Amino acid sequence: MNTTVTSDMHVVIITGASDGIGAEMARQLAQHDGAKLALVLAARSAQGLENTAVQCRALGAHCLVVPTDVAQEDQCRSLIAQAVAHFGHIDTLVNNAGVSAQALFADVEAQDLHWYQQLMQVNLWGSVWCTHAALPHLQARKGRIVAVSSLAGLIGVPGRTAYSATKFAMTGFFEALRLELAPSGVSVTTAFPGVVLTQIRYHGLNAKGHAAGSSGLREDKGMSVAHCVRLIIAGMQAREREVVMTTAGKFGRFIKLFAPSIVERMVMNALKDEVKPR
């Protein structure tokens, strides 16, 4: 155990912390809590993690960098074990790592369909494995779990059959887990960002399972990463069940029950013309 970290320090594990929402969440937490915070930063990019760690250490936070591919169960469990060995406890687990995808199902060839399974491995199973390994430590501290899902995990989006499937799965898993853990004092907050101005869609997969290099969504009204993270942190700290971030998302979620055709039109309007079903 790192003797510079005491039992009253808040230890937070963030997956997908090399850029985007994860890196910004680490920075905002460090800016707010400084020396009272210990961050465990995980992602595949070691250099990206080091960049995030340098920024957070400059704000006074303790940081442990653990390069991790959450698609591998052993690496997820090793991440949690290293966090506990280094800092002694865990207070919060943020399941943020994820991969996006944009492809019409009819355009995916049979030999390429395996990447649907790979996407589920990252987006769902990475969260499941990390959460399972961290659970006893979180229960000991009456800690917090955060799952970063998507509005595509509440409303199906054309061209995002794979991504929506993974995010709907996350939504269901963490909703059920929230009820299971309520007696233990561990909170589960699921965040549902809409279009956030990160590179996730550009790094996401196309019909061939390769990096798309572009976004299929209109981004002129996208939310800044900083604002998205502020909403997630506020929800986490208040131990809210869910954080639905946009008015359209809140409206769409409930109107879907009574007038699904309206929601379908809203979704289609959010797509660029070149990626709409033809």
pTM, two decimals, is 0.87
CA dihedral 257, 216, 200, 106 (to 10 degrees): 80
Task: Give the domain CATH number at 186.
Answer: 3.40.50.720
Q: Is 163 a catalytic residue?
A: yes
Q: Is 77 inside any structural domain?
A: yes
Residue 278: predicted pLDDT:
55
Please give the Cα distance from 103 to 207 (Å, whole number).
Answer: 5
Q: Is 1 inside any structural domain?
A: no
Q: Is 2 inside any structural domain?
A: no
Please give the Cα distance from 176 to 196 (Å, whole number).
Answer: 26
Q: Give the contacts of 264 (CB within 8 A, at least 6 positions apart).
A: none
- Tell me the pLDDT of the chain averaged across its residues: 87
104 burial level (CB within 10 Å; 0-12, 13-18, 19+): middle
What sign for the dihedral angle of Cα 52, 7, 184, 81? Answer: positive
User: 257-270 pLDDT, tens per residue?
Assistant: 555 666 566 555 65
Q: Is 215 inside any structural domain?
A: yes
Query: What are the CA-CA distances from residue 206 to residues 44, 62, 192, 211, 215 (Å)?
Result: 20, 38, 23, 6, 10
Could you give the number of structural domains in the chain? 1
Residue 249: predicted pLDDT:
66
**Which residue range is the domain that position 46 belongs to?**
10-275
Please give the Cα distance from 54 to 64 (Å, whole number).
Answer: 11
Locate tokens 């699904």: which residue?
Answer: 260
User: 141-179 pLDDT, tens per residue?
Assistant: 999 999 999 988 988 888 889 999 999 999 999 999 999
Q: Is 57 inside any structural domain?
A: yes
Residue 3: predicted pLDDT:
44
Annotated active-site residue in 87, 163, 174, 192: 163
Q: In the sheet where 37-43 sits, what is the strand order? A: 62-67, 37-43, 10-15, 92-95, 144-148, 187-192, 242-244
Q: Is 18 inside any structural domain?
A: yes
Q: Is 92 inside any structural domain?
A: yes
Q: Coil, strand or helix: which one is 4?
A: coil
Please give the Cα distance from 82 to 52 (Å, whole number).
Answer: 18
Please give the Cα distance from 276 to 267 (Å, whole number).
Answer: 10
Q: Kindly give the confidence (pLDDT) of every residue in the chain, 278 residues in length, as a single tens digit, with 9 standing for 90 and above.
A: 444 667 789 999 999 999 999 999 999 999 998 889 999 999 999 999 999 999 999 999 999 999 999 999 999 999 999 999 999 999 999 999 999 998 889 999 999 999 999 999 999 999 999 999 999 999 999 999 999 999 889 888 888 899 999 999 999 999 999 999 999 999 999 999 988 886 665 667 888 887 766 555 555 667 899 999 999 999 999 999 999 987 776 666 665 555 566 656 655 565 545 544 55
Q: Give the contacts of 180 (CB within 8 A, at least 6 positions apart).
A: none
Q: Is 4 inside any structural domain?
A: no
Residue 258: predicted pLDDT:
57
